[in-house]
């Protein structure tokens, strides 16, 4: 927006410079063609008035265009921001859905392992070979297994 404001100021300055140049040209032309001082003075005043009006009209038109451009840019930026927010929200929902499904699978698997471990403890059987035991954790993030104990006895082949 600052850049647009800077452009407006540059254009206003350009218009003012053009008006000054035009008034100088007209003054020189008037002085060349007219010899009567009263008439020269009157024509210079008319030139000044007409150029001032033209300058004011041009500057007003520039300011109107400036406001229109700012309004259009503001609307476009808001629209783009809303679209980005919507896209971000949809992506977040997709990610949350994926992680929720993974969480549900992990939770289900953990529940199966816990049920199997409880059943094994109640029946006295082992879930794993070589008589190792599984540590049951209530945390979904922690799965730990004790190192497998391998003991050989003389009776094993």
Tokens of 46: 């008319």
Cβ–Cβ under 8 Å, residues 8 and 66: yes
Q: How far apart are CA 51 and CA 54, in angstroms?
A: 5
pTM (predicted TM-score): 0.53
Tokens of 102: 């993974």
Q: What is the chain's pLDDT, residue by residue, as a tens digit (157 residues)?
A: 889 899 989 999 999 999 999 989 988 888 888 888 888 888 888 988 999 999 999 999 999 999 999 999 999 999 999 999 999 999 999 999 999 999 999 999 999 999 988 888 888 775 555 444 444 444 444 544 444 444 444 444 4
Cβ–Cβ under 8 Å, residues 40 and 30: yes
Instruction: Indicate left, alpha or beta for 131 from its phi (over 0: left) and psi (-120 to 50: alpha).
Output: left
Write the DSSP string, 29-41: HHHHH---HHHHH
Q: How far apart are CA 58 and CA 7, in angstroms?
A: 14
In the chain, at which residue ranges do the beta strands (DSSP E only) sit? none
């Amino acid at each position: 927006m600052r850049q647009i404001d800077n452009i407006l100021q540059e254009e206003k300055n350009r218009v003012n410079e053009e008006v000054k140049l035009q008034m100088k040209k007209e003054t020189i032309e008037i002085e060349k063609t007219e010899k009567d001082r009263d008439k020269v003075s009157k024509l210079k005043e008319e030139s000044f008035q007409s150029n001032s009006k033209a300058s004011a009209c041009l500057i007003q038109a520039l300011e109107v265009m400036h406001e229109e451009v700012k309004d259009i840019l503001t609307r476009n930026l808001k629209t783009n921001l809303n679209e980005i927010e919507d896209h971000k929200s949809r992506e977040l929902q997709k990610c949350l859905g994926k992680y929720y499904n993974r969480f549900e699978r992990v939770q289900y698997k953990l529940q199966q392992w816990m049920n199997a471990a409880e059943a094994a403890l109640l029946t006295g059987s082992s879930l794993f070979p070589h008589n190792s035991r599984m540590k049951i954790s209530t945390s979904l993030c922690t799965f730990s297994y004790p190192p497998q104990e391998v003991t050989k006895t003389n009776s094993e082949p």
